[in-house]
Structure 1
Amino acid sequence: MAKITYIEHDGTEHVVDVKNGLTVMEGAVKNNIPGIDADCGGACACATCHVYVDEAWREKTGSTSAMEDSMLDFAENVEPNSRLSCQIKVTDALDGLIVRMPESQH
């Protein structure tokens, strides 16, 4: 299990425990975290679970796949640390992960 901090665009923080094997997106949805819409339910088909991974955690969350890169083209305000949270699998190694949500997912 990993403790993940989700930070809304306005700075509101939500710290939750997320079970290993779930995705960062599933952790947000299961804990009613605002700012991650997840319209496609985690199929990497909508880009409404866009997050900014804290710089200290970029390497630990892995690299983006070609599909994720393609879907990020549909997200707003993409930065080098942008990821789709449905593509980040939670493991013990991500305990302490910090992600920030963009102002809008649409």
Structure 2
Amino acid sequence: MTQITFVQPDGTKKEVNATNGQSVMQAAISNLVPGVFAECGGELSCATCHVYVDEQWVGKIPERSGDETDMLELTSEEPTDASRLCCQIQVDSSMDGLILHIPKTQKF
């Protein structure tokens, strides 16, 4: 298992255990992480699983694809260099301790 921490806009943290090989989005949905809506179910067509990768993790996870970059232009909050769609991040053991921030416009 790989531990991932999701940080809400108010600073509240939720640590979840993810199975290697699943997407970060699947781990978030399975653990009821607020703010990860994943309306398209991970098909890279909705941008409702937008997260910001914590600065200490930027560059330590695989880079985003061109399609993901294009889809990030449709997010509810301005994308940054740290923006990712968590449906496109596949969990592996090198990500143990990964920290992701939920955009403030995705709270419910």
TM superposition score normalised by structure 1? 0.95
Runs of 5+ consecutive residues of structure 2 not aligned to the other structure: none
What fraction of aligned residue pairs are identical, expressed as a percent?
Answer: 47
Query: Corresponding residue for 2:30?
Result: 30
Question: CA shift at 1:60, angstroms?
Answer: 2.0
Kindly indicate whether residue 9 of structure 2 is the aligned counterpart of residue 9 of structure 1. Answer: yes
Runs of 5+ consecutive residues of structure 1 not aligned to the other structure: none
Within 2, Cα distance between the matches of 1:85 and 1:22? 11
Within 1, Cα distance between the matches of 2:61 and 2:38? 19
Query: Corresponding residue for 1:60?
Result: 60
Question: CA shift at 1:20, angstroms?
Answer: 0.4
Within 2, Cα distance between the matches of 1:97 and 1:83? 13
**CA RMSD after TM alignment:** 1.2
How many matched pairs?
Answer: 106
